[in-house]
Chain A
Amino acid sequence: MFFLISILAAISGIGLAGVAAFQADTGIDHSIGAYLALLGTVGVTASLLIVWGGVGGAWMRGFFAFLAGFAAILTSVAAWFLMHDALVVAMVVSFLALVLSGVTRQRKKAY
């Protein structure tokens, strides 16, 4: 469930970053920063979907999970400097949900 939340938050991030990048008068529209943030959200989402789809082996899924988390952190930092609070929240939620999904999975394995 946490993993699904992570994906949904990342997808909402695409929408938020897209609006900020392409809608007029957002203060950051058509800026390099907004495009980078959009790229970041797409990267997070794509990585999460790869993990979710079970592509490759465990090592590969672990790599993409790490990539998704790392990209979510970087994108949230970028969003903070873009003063886009909603995107910060979306990326932090995506990251935390991803971490929690990993923790809960480890616990299940342990039990």
Chain B
Amino acid sequence: MNRFGILAALAVLATGQAWADQPVWGTFNGDLAATKFADAATLTPQSVPGLVRAWEVRTGDVSDGTGEVPATVWSATPIYANNTLYLGTPFYRILALDPATGAERWSYDTKSALETLTQPALKNRGVAYWESGAEGPCEKRVMIGTMDATLHAVDADTGQPCTEFGENGVLNVNKWNETNAIFPFSLLQPPTAVGNTILIGWAGKDWAHTVEPPGNLIAVDARTGELLWDTGFIPPEMIPVTGTANIWSSMSADPELGLVYVPVSSPSPNYWGGNRTAPIPLATSITAIDIETGAVAWSFQHVHHDVWDYDTPSAPTLLTITRDGESVPALVQTTKQGFIFVLDRRTGVPLFPVEERPVPASDVEGEQVSPTQPFADVPTPTINHAALPDVWPLADTLSFGQCSRDRETYRYEGLYTPPSVQGTFLWPATAGGNNWGGAAVDPRTGILYVNTSQVVQVIRLIPRAEFEAEVEAATADGGDASGNEAGLYAQEGSPFGLELFEWRTALGLPCWKPPFGTFAAYDLNTGERLYERPFGLAQQWGFYGLRDWGSPTLGGPVVTSGGVVMIGASMDSRVRAMDAATGAELWSDLVAAPAVSIPAVFTHEGADYVVWAVGGNSILKPEVADQVVAYRLGTE
């Protein structure tokens, strides 16, 4: 090797070493295993009370919906890679920021129309990052999707479009939307890059119609956007009568096994299944797919014939656990219904017992729910399914007994009580339990950390002949004609519309006894729950609830190697650091709205940073924001 070659080799080694020493946050969940584990050793229970704001940025991409622009929902996880912080916004722009100062390096505007084509609000969960390993323009790329189904790829250093990708850097993903195409493939969740393959899921509105686009996973070449394969989740013979079972959430992957693990959602429509009584084995499942071919390797359906919208909500987390003295490559899936399924990720076989148990039958004409559903008692579910939470005496008293009367009115016979015309309690609510924020896992210990909403809803099916009259009555005072504000949904094509609402008093107090949200830790090697405690503060009319009441949450946690959990997610617009060992709160800060996102935790130029996109979500409370806020330890 000549002198130049030796120097080049040393340069490569040096670059590689620098990369290895610098923990990145390269995907929505931090890594392809979706652990949400950050090797940020300085963030310890002793140090985090000293966290200070390093910088704050307002993107300007926000709307409360009162003007011409629809309301925004922003749940992006910042990506830290290439010594830069990348963010997607709900106006479908990419921002590249200096991680140390927040100064903008470049921005890219997709110029996507700001229209709510498939969602109640403009929505974005961030960007994806891909790099080839070579040097040169577009060898490192940032990708963002839009609600109108385009995927944009730009150079990570300059923000210029990568012209070899799609058409001049823009891939029209909707060209593969060929069946029942009544809405576009909305790309709200960033795609997943595995090697040189970009894996694309999409969002729709599976509550709206009976027949909709059938869900699929699309794999394209990272350089060109060329279609590699397309795997569908609805059996071909069912496509004329139903749809979706799509992937709207994030994914995880094991490149060594060559598998991508996808959270598949429920078929359409969400709350009535009389059109789809034949089995749809891949719906509401965790499915492993061969990255090279798109073939289904295995699938685990955790809800049969889903009529509760219990979509698989988050990327399964991959880790190694110890069983009978042996290391087992495992996968753990938190679910809306509160089960924590732990599977062998090579085969999909459960590592803790999963039992098919009888569940209540439907009393709705034409509906045929499954007679059994899978139950996993270990690890202990994050939701107590044994009974509906008790009526909260405070709310019952203040409502002159409304809550008690409701309890007698609506149907509840345990988990998976089907929707009914009389009204059925949904416990847990359709948003979970556990939602897209998923869980964090410390891979060194096999301990899982997860936030859970403890919320009760009521669902009432409305015969078609009565539905329009109910919509008219609900909107007679000038409410939203689409029915969104009143919680009325048409489920077009089915014999029933529906009404969905939280079980509250007329004054807005929850009718069920607190806590409304919890945080828990589990040892996945044994299935033991280590602790569970109320988390966050609920808020109504500005007033905060008591600590013991907790808060519903949206967004997820990150655990650091120093033993701290960083999490926003609560109604009270706080971001928090908690002791991973006990769940005790160590530090908090008030931000502009609920931080309904997963933070990015990374090390930049020797300092550990925690960065949240703070955007809010009307599911929790009306405040929206466009704040990016970064924290690091204060200098002594």
In the A-B complex, the 8 residue pairs with the closest CB atoms: A31-B542, A33-B542, A32-B541, A28-B542, A81-B543, A33-B543, A25-B592, A33-B541
**Residue of A31, A34, A82 with most chain B CB atoms under a 10 A cut-off:** A31
Number of A-B contacts (CB under 8 A): 27
- How many chain A residues touch the partner (CB < 8 A)? 13
Q: Is the CB of A27 within 8 A of B573?
A: yes
Task: Tell me if A60 counts as interface (CB < 8 A to partner B).
Answer: no
Q: Is the CB of B544 within 8 A of A81?
A: yes
Which residues from 1 to 53 on chain A have a C-beta closer than 8 Å to any C-beta of chain B?
Answer: 24-28, 31-34
Task: Tell me if A99 counts as interface (CB < 8 A to partner B).
Answer: no
- A31 CB to nearest B CB, Å: 3
Q: How far is the CA of A90 from the CA of B625 in the complex (A)?
A: 31
Task: Tell me if B572 counts as interface (CB < 8 A to partner A).
Answer: yes
Task: Tell me if B394 counts as interface (CB < 8 A to partner A).
Answer: no
- B550 CB to nearest A CB, Å: 16
Q: Is the CB of B542 within 8 A of A34?
A: yes
**Residue of A24, A27, A82 with most chain B CB atoms under a 10 A cut-off:** A27
Q: How far is the CA of A103 from the CA of B537 in the complex (A)?
A: 40
Q: Is the CB of A78 within 8 A of B590?
A: no
Q: How far is the CA of A33 from the CA of B540 in the complex (A)?
A: 8
Q: How far is the CA of A32 from the CA of B573 in the complex (A)?
A: 17
Interface of B is mostly: loop
Q: How far is the CA of A82 from the CA of B592 in the complex (A)?
A: 16
Q: How far is the CA of A32 from the CA of B542 in the complex (A)?
A: 6
A55 cross-chain contacts in B, Cβ below 8 A: none
Q: Is the CB of A82 within 8 A of B544?
A: yes
Q: Is the CB of B590 within 8 A of A82?
A: no
- A69 CB to nearest B CB, Å: 22
Q: Which residues of B contact A (CB under 8 A)?
A: 537, 541-544, 572-573, 590-592, 625
- A77 CB to nearest B CB, Å: 10
Q: Is the CB of A24 within 8 A of B592?
A: yes
Q: Is the CB of B592 within 8 A of A78?
A: no
Q: How far is the CA of A66 from the CA of B571 in the complex (A)?
A: 37
Which residues from 42 to 86 on chain A have a C-beta closer than 8 Å to any C-beta of chain B?
Answer: 78, 81-83
Q: How far is the CA of A108 from the CA of B541 in the complex (A)?
A: 45
Q: Which residues of A contact B (CB under 8 A)?
A: 24-28, 31-34, 78, 81-83
The contact of A82 among B542, B573, B591, B625, by CB within 8 Å, is B542
The contact of A31 among B537, B541, B592, B625, by CB within 8 Å, is B541
Q: Is the CB of B543 within 8 A of A82?
A: yes
Known contacts A81-B543, A83-B537, then 19 further A-B pairs from the complex at CB < 8 Å, ordered by chain A residue: A24-B592, A25-B590, A25-B591, A27-B572, A27-B573, A27-B590, A28-B542, A31-B541, A31-B542, A31-B543, A32-B541, A32-B542, A33-B542, A33-B543, A34-B542, A81-B544, A82-B542, A82-B543, A83-B544
* Residue contacts A-B, CB under 8 angstroms, 27 given: A24-B592, A25-B590, A25-B591, A25-B592, A25-B625, A26-B590, A27-B572, A27-B573, A27-B590, A28-B542, A31-B541, A31-B542, A31-B543, A32-B541, A32-B542, A33-B541, A33-B542, A33-B543, A34-B542, A78-B543, A81-B543, A81-B544, A82-B542, A82-B543, A82-B544, A83-B537, A83-B544
Q: How far is the CA of A31 from the CA of B593 in the complex (A)?
A: 13
- B521 CB to nearest A CB, Å: 27
A33 cross-chain contacts in B, Cβ below 8 A: 541-543
A82 cross-chain contacts in B, Cβ below 8 A: 542-544
Q: How far is the CA of A81 from the CA of B542 in the complex (A)?
A: 8
Q: How far is the CA of A27 from the CA of B594 in the complex (A)?
A: 9
A27 cross-chain contacts in B, Cβ below 8 A: 572-573, 590
Residue in chain A with minimal CB distance to B592: A25
A83 cross-chain contacts in B, Cβ below 8 A: 537, 544
- B281 CB to nearest A CB, Å: 47
Q: How far is the CA of A26 from the CA of B591 in the complex (A)?
A: 8
- A70 CB to nearest B CB, Å: 19
Q: How far is the CA of A45 from the CA of B429 in the complex (A)?
A: 46
B537 cross-chain contacts in A, Cβ below 8 A: 83
B572 cross-chain contacts in A, Cβ below 8 A: 27
B543 cross-chain contacts in A, Cβ below 8 A: 31, 33, 78, 81-82
Q: How far is the CA of A27 from the CA of B621 in the complex (A)?
A: 11
Q: How far is the CA of A78 from the CA of B544 in the complex (A)?
A: 10
Q: How far is the CA of A34 from the CA of B539 in the complex (A)?
A: 12
- A17 CB to nearest B CB, Å: 11
**Residue of B537, B541, B543, B592 with most chain A CB atoms under a 10 A cut-off:** B543
B544 cross-chain contacts in A, Cβ below 8 A: 81-83
Q: How far is the CA of A69 from the CA of B541 in the complex (A)?
A: 24
- B436 CB to nearest A CB, Å: 25
- B251 CB to nearest A CB, Å: 34
